[in-house]
Amino acid sequence: MGYSVAIDGPAGAGKSTIAKLVAKEKEFIYVDTGAMYRAMAIHFLRCGIKADDSEKISAAVNDVNVTISYVNGEQQVFLNGENVTGMLRTEEVGNMASASSVNGDVRKKLVELQRKLAASACVVMDGRDIGTVVLPNADVKVYLTASVEVRAQRRYKELIEKGQEADLEKIKKDIEERDYRDMNRDISPLRQAEDAILVDSSNMTIEENARAIIELIDKNQAESCVIGSAKAIANAFVNEK
């Protein structure tokens, strides 16, 4: 098992931007698990499956193969061999991902993939259930959040900067609905793991956030090193006796 950092939190808290910076600094692999749920959602949308049709979603899971690879350190997501990375970040796909992620068969398949990735490398993994379900033994767990108002403002700015139309009130409502669904589903709801550290990004810059998390990792690694050395010394003492 590699070293693992779990970052969970609601939509728009800045998880992916911050996790990417942290991964780059620590030379870990960044794993965006939301992108996997989004890739599956594209498949369901293409099949014309309704978000609340759990039987059809469960059946369709058997036809979906989501795989991940890295090009210049950037995660690429493949849906049955097709690179769908550029299609993941629309509101339609995000809403379908949120709705279909309540399905146990969808989660089972993706959690397996996520655990395999974490077993093979040092990772910063972000999502909703990483610290609670996917990697309960993660070395560092962070719950990254921000107020609904701040998250809606950030999304609004992002859309306007891209030259797209945006309605702040609608964005706010979508965020609230998504939070409610992610936090109240039966399987693996979004919640802060007991041993996760709460970071509220409302009044912090991206760099300040990333720095705070890097410091947590550095501290954890230094402590693990001290504990590891103490164990080695204790073992050597026992063996000598």
- Print the binding letters for residues 14-33 with ligand DC: x by CB under 6 A, - otherwise: -------------------x
Cα 146 to Cα 13, 15, 31, 184, 185, distances in angstroms = 5, 10, 21, 18, 21
Q: For residue 82, give the 3-state DSSP assignment.
A: strand
Which parts of 169-198 interact with ligand DC (CB under 6 A)?
178, 182
Nearer to ligand DC, 51 or 197 (CB): 51
The continuous run of DSSP H or E covering 144 comes out as strand 140-145
In the complex, minimum distance from the CB of residue 114 to ligand DC, in angstroms, rounded to a whole number: 7
Check if the beta carbon of residue 16 is closer than 8 Å to that of residue 155.
no
How many CB atoms are located within 10 Å of the residue 239 CB? 7
Binding piece for ligand DC, criterion CB under 6 A, among 57-65, 123-131, 199-207, 209-217: 123-131
In the complex, minimum distance from the CB of residue 128 to ligand DC, in angstroms, rounded to a whole number: 4
Give all strands (DSSP E) within 2-139, no chain letters: 4-8, 29-32, 66-71, 74-79, 82-83, 123-127
Nearer to ligand DC, 6 or 216 (CB): 6
- Print the binding letters for residues 60-99 with ligand DC: x by CB under 6 A, - otherwise: ----------------------------------x--xx-
Q: CA-CA distance, 72 to 81, in Å (whole number)?
A: 19
Task: By CB under 6 A, name the one of 11, 39, 117, 152 that touches ligand DC.
Answer: 11
Q: For residue 103, give the 3-state DSSP assignment.
A: coil
51, two tokens: 């978000």
Nearer to ligand DC, 130 or 140 (CB): 130
In the complex, minimum distance from the CB of residue 193 to ligand DC, in angstroms, rounded to a whole number: 13
Check if the beta carbon of residue 42 is closer than 8 Å to that of residue 64.
no
The contact set with ligand DC (CB under 6 A) reads 11, 33-34, 37-38, 94, 97-98, 101, 127-130, 178, 182
